[in-house]
Amino acid sequence: MTALATPEFEAANEKQKRRRGLLLALPSYLYLIVFFAFPLLIVVLYSFATRNRFGGTDLSGWNLDSYARLGEPIVRTILFRSLGLAILTTLICLLLAYPFAYFLATRGSTIRNVMLVFVMIPFWSNFLVRNYAWRVLLGNDGPFSQLTEFLGFGETRVLFTPTAVVIGLVYGFLPFMILPLYAAIERIDGRVLEASRDLYANGWQTFRHVLWPLSRSGVIAGSILVFVPSLGAYVTPEILGGAKTTLLGSYIVSQFLEARNWPAGAAVSFVLMTVMLGATLVYFRSGGRNL
Amino acid sequence: MSVAKPRGATNTALGLNAFVVYLFFYAPILLLVLFSFSDDNIVGRWGGFTLDWYRDFGENDEVQSALSVSVRVAIISTLISVVLGTMAALALERFRFRGERVFDALLYLPVIIPDVTMAVMMLIFFTSLDDLIGLQVTKGFSTITLSHVAFSISFVSIVVRARLAGMNQTLEEAAQDLYATRWQAFRHVTFPQIMPGIAGGALLALTLSLDDVVITQFVAGPGSTTLPVYVFGLIRRGVTPLINAVSVVMLGASITLVLLSLLAQRARGGSDPVA
Amino acid sequence: MTRRTKKLLGLLCGLALVAAACGGDDDASSAAECEVGQTDGPLAIYNWTEYMDPELKDAFAAEFGVEVTEDNYDSNEVMQPIINAGGSGYDFIVPSDYMVSIMIEAGDIQALNRDAIPNLENLSSEFASGLPYDPEGTYTAPYQWGTTGLGVDLAVTGEDVPRTWGLIFDADLATQYGLDGSYATLLDDPRETMGAALKYLGYSLNTTDEGELSEATALVNEAKARVAAFDSDQYDELLVTGDSAVAHGYSGNFLFQFFDADNPDQYTYFVPDEGGTRWIDNMAIPHDAPHPCTAHTFINFLLDAERGAQLTNWNYYASPNEAAVPFIDQEVLDDPIVYPTDTSKLEEIEDTGDFETNFSDAFIEAKG
């Protein structure tokens, strides 16, 4: 700040800064209140209502029955299974995406822009068509099975196994990890890394003590963008996993659609969102210091 | 600004990883392209070369209109959410203001909410506006776009914030010390610095909008079917290579656009270009 | 009172209004006043995908000078809440049997003005009245029907395959016919799949007996070892690509797929002898359809003899339209997949009210 700073000036400046901040936030703030928070409140209200005989929702006779259902053992099984899958997906994405984003960030400006766009282009085809393409790739006598046979590992049946689900989820969410990581790594000043090397740090030490801490904001953002949606994913597990085990995403869908039990669906979603929001905020605000 | 290039073996290993990642990304795309030329209803069963699916696409009004709705929704919702999301990111990373913590939390919710829950809540919301404030909403293009913006803002702001967090502010302050207006400082200093974040967020928003099925399905009205919703409906009777052909056309068009914009930058003498 | 509480109160009042509005649905008991052939604006169709011959839409548009748009859904469960919420903008929908009874009770569809649909006479007596979900045909007219059963790859099982659900539910039988080792697919639908197990056990698929349902749950759970996937969309393709050898699914889809296969005789479809589902899809008009008269005229148009036949010739589902029979292709009429010879063991899925949640819970339980 400038040398002129008197307490009065500071205070006025601070006040102006606050106003500017609010002004900047206001459009999206209002947008989200009207088109998200308010609709969400309706859903929360529904979670205390009752499913009527023909699958509609009676907005009367408020109760906590839908929340009581969450204590059932099957729900716990589903929750832990989904958590495991989401954590695995996030870790694999991070492992693949970090070196990738770093490689990208170290290319010349034209090349890295092209490379970045070519990461996204496959995703402008159609979601279902991509999933069905994986079904063919992993199917009986599909290219993947032929490859493993050719390599001498014999035929493999990957389709409709948990492995296929993980492959599908990693494929679907990898860009969500790459983009924030790239945005975070690209801004790191190369001279810092060089300085580290000049000080005779080896590659690992430079990574652990310089690069990783400086790119942490990207790691956090990326893990959240991958973890959260893979926890609720249901189309990929159904197409590639054959819907043989119930995951959280399909559990919620089955409550809303198959059972036409909106209060139950709303209650599960509400609890899930509260827990995830709490975890996310703690994770973000700590700046991922435990990493 | 550029990160230092890694040396020798590390560089090779990184390059190899990048190659594997691209292979992974494009393996299903190759298959998808291949079978768009296959004369068989089933993707995965080769039936000889044909261009019939492309001709079908040319003659199928439903697919064309679905594609056009999808592209328009994607572009408009991306533009809006990039502007709003970037402003939100700047506000949260650079300023302190009243209600900041609530806003911060609110901004994460659209990422966290399950698809089908958001779909149901937007359906109730739009149809209850009539009872609440007497506003009769015709479901269709506008309700789809509004809903897409509602989830895209969050994704954009998260990516832009990852860029802003811990970014060096000295340049901005220097510019202001040199009597640049706030806008000038933003336009010439901050904006180019956060551009990779904004571009990343925009790519993400575009992708999310082009892929959304469930939410769109619940807020669409007569004649506003998007391509993913159309394809989703098709799976009962079988997704034929027609959809592959449509995807190939979309991929081809986006690759062409990317290459054209690169050429344009070359011609302009390309300062650090937009990602 | 702080500003925050005031705001909250405002919101809650708003929500109370929603509740009130939800309680008072439009009165759907009185039929629209429409003349035969009258139109009152463009037609917005909301239908299953690939279920309506586009030429029929064009013909209707040309004959009555109205614009026709069609949008598609892939399940009753997605369509119903959209219609129920109101303001959907659709004039014509095609709910299945059990969904009709739900929609009638929820006030989602309006009574038909039967005077405006003289072609209702063309329906065969079996479909004209006495259907369990709409006994008097007050709200709906049948569109098409089909069955749920098993598609089998004879190259795996051999030609002489017993017509039983045991191919999936009986471990020994499955082994005997080469079906052990996850070569079966079941529908990813609680009512259909629990229903198949109930039928195998000799119970009604509309049972509300918890003991019977839990027997079925154990059966499906045990069969999971031999199941490749629970799939409601691509089971027919998985069968002909060799990813499965026995598939639980809908008649017309199999037929469609078998016609296309390199060797159609390699596959067969049957409803097992223990019985199976017959489903009937129906034409209906949403409670707040913007153009109910156009919709009535369209229903009458589709119930015409030649047009009913055109529909069946196009999508290979059976027609409830008796007058249409002379115009239906002979190979379709003779195909036991489309027109099963014995319909006595078939049962329609009915809405079981509160018990629906038991079905969906049992299905989740069975999958584990």
Provide the residue ranges of all domains of chain C, joining segments of one domain with +.
31-139+279-333, 146-275+346-367
Q: Contact A237/A250 with Cβ under 8 angstroms?
A: yes
- State whether residue B136 sits within 8 Å of chain C by CB: yes
Task: Record the tokens describing residue A80, joined without a space.
Answer: 């832990």
Domain C31-139+279-333 has CATH 3.40.50.300: no
- Chain B contact set for C90 (CB, 8 A): 222
pLDDT value for B272: 44
What is the arithmetic mean of pLDDT over C334-360?
90
SS3 B104: helix
- State whether residue C242 sits within 8 Å of chain A by CB: yes
Whole-number Å distance between alpha carbons of A122 and A96: 17
What is the arithmetic mean of pLDDT over C81-100?
94
What is the arithmetic mean of pLDDT over C255-282?
91
Whole-number Å distance between alpha carbons of B43 and B240: 7
Q: Which of B81, B101, B117, B144 to substitute to test the interface with A, most A CBs within 10 Å?
A: B117
- State whether residue B156 sits within 8 Å of chain A by CB: no
Query: Which residues are paired to C123 by β-bridges?
Result: C321
- Cβ burial B173-210 (10 Å sphere, 16+ → b, else e): eebeeeebeeeebeeebbeebbbbbbbbbbbbbbbbbb
Task: Record the tokens describing residue A115, joined without a space.
Answer: 């490379």
What is the arithmetic mean of pLDDT over C152-166?
94
Residues near C41 by Cβ (< 8 Å), separated by ≥ 6?
C66, C290, C291, C294
Q: Please tell me the distance in Å from C31's CA to the nearest CA on chain A.
A: 23
| Residue B274: pLDDT over 50 | no
Sites in chain A below the pLDDT cut of 50: 1-2, 289-291
Confidence of residue B164 (pLDDT cuts 50, 70, 90): confident
pLDDT value for C218: 97
Helix%, strand%, coil% for chain C, nearest 5 = 45, 15, 35
- State whether residue A80 sits within 8 Å of chain C by CB: no
Confidence of residue B198 (pLDDT cuts 50, 70, 90): very high
Q: Contact C205/C277 with Cβ under 8 angstroms?
A: yes
Residue of C nearest to B235 (CA): C233
Whole-number Å distance between alpha carbons of B206 and B89: 18
Q: Which of residues 205-244 of B touch A (CB under 8 A)?
A: 206-207, 210-211, 213, 227-228, 231-232, 235, 239, 243-244
| Residue B44: pLDDT over 90 | no
Residue of B nearest to A29 (CA): B103
* Domains of chain A from N-terminus onward: 70-285 (1.10.3720.10)
Tell me, rounded to whole angstroms, the distance of Cα A118 from its chain centroid.
Answer: 21
How far is the first Cα of chain B from the last one, in angstroms, to the nearest whole number?
14
- Chain A contact set for B159 (CB, 8 A): 179-180, 183, 221, 225
Q: Which of B10, B97, B210, B226 to substitute to test the interface with A, most A CBs within 10 Å?
A: B97
Whole-number Å distance between alpha carbons of A202 and A198: 10
Task: State pLDDT tens for residues B87-114.
Answer: 999 999 888 888 888 999 999 999 999 9
Total beta-carbon pairs less than 8 A apart between chain A and chain C: 101
**In terms of C-beta density within 10 A (0-12 exposed, 13-18 middle, 19 or more buried), how is residue C128 classed?**
middle
Whole-number Å distance between alpha carbons of B63 and A128: 15
Total beta-carbon pairs less than 8 A apart between chain A and chain B: 332
Residue of B nearest to C250 (CA): B236
- State whether residue A218 sits within 8 Å of chain B by CB: yes
Residue of C nearest to A157 (CA): C243
Q: Contact B119/A232 with Cβ under 8 angstroms?
A: no
Task: State pLDDT tens for residues B200-219.
Answer: 899 889 989 998 999 999 99
Q: Contact A237/A249 with Cβ under 8 angstroms?
A: yes
Task: Record the tokens describing residue B61, joined without a space.
Answer: 């009004």
pLDDT value for C17: 44
Residue scoring higher pLDDT (C6 or A148): A148
Tell me, rounded to whole angstroms, the distance of Cα C344 from its chain centroid.
Answer: 19
Confidence of residue B34 (pLDDT cuts 50, 70, 90): very high
* Domains of chain B from N-terminus onward: 12-50+240-275 (no CATH), 64-229 (1.10.3720.10)
Closest-CA residue to C278 (of C201, C206, C173, C183): C206
Q: Do B127 and C86 touch (CB under 8 A)?
A: yes
pLDDT value for A194: 82
Task: State pLDDT tens for residues C166-192.
Answer: 999 999 999 999 888 778 999 999 999
Q: Contact C238/C228 with Cβ under 8 angstroms?
A: yes
Q: Do B201 and A179 touch (CB under 8 A)?
A: yes
- Chain C contact set for B220 (CB, 8 A): 71
Q: Which of residues 129-148 of B touch A (CB under 8 A)?
A: 146-147
Which CATH code of 1.10.10.10, 3.40.190.10, 1.25.40.10, 1.20.1050.10 fits the domain covering C146-275+346-367? 3.40.190.10
Residue scoring higher pLDDT (C341 or B144): B144
Residue of C nearest to B63 (CA): C71
Q: Please tell me the distance in Å from B228's CA to the nearest CA on chain A.
A: 7
| Residue B268: pLDDT over 70 | no
Residue of B251, B258, B272 with shortest CB distance to A125: B251
How far is the first Cα of chain A from the last one, in angstroms, to the nearest whole number?
33
Q: Do C357 and A56 touch (CB under 8 A)?
A: no
Q: Do A43 and B117 touch (CB under 8 A)?
A: yes
Q: Do C87 and B126 touch (CB under 8 A)?
A: yes
pLDDT value for C75: 87
What CA–CA distances, in Å, run from C263 to B57, C149, C153, C258? 28, 21, 11, 8
Residue of B nearest to A257 (CA): B116
Task: Record the tokens describing residue C216, joined without a space.
Answer: 């079925």
What is the arithmetic mean of pLDDT over B187-196?
86
Whole-number Å distance between alpha carbons of C316 and C314: 6
Average pLDDT, chain B: 87
| Residue B266: pLDDT over 80 | no
Q: Please tell me the distance in Å from B41's CA to the nearest CA on chain C.
A: 8
| Residue C11: pLDDT over 50 | no
Residue of B nearest to A271 (CA): B113
Range from C48-52, C174-178, C228-232 carrying the lowest mean pLDDT: C48-52
Task: Record the tokens describing residue C197, joined without a space.
Answer: 């197990």
Tell me, rounded to whole angstroms, the distance of Cα C286 from its chain centroid.
Answer: 17
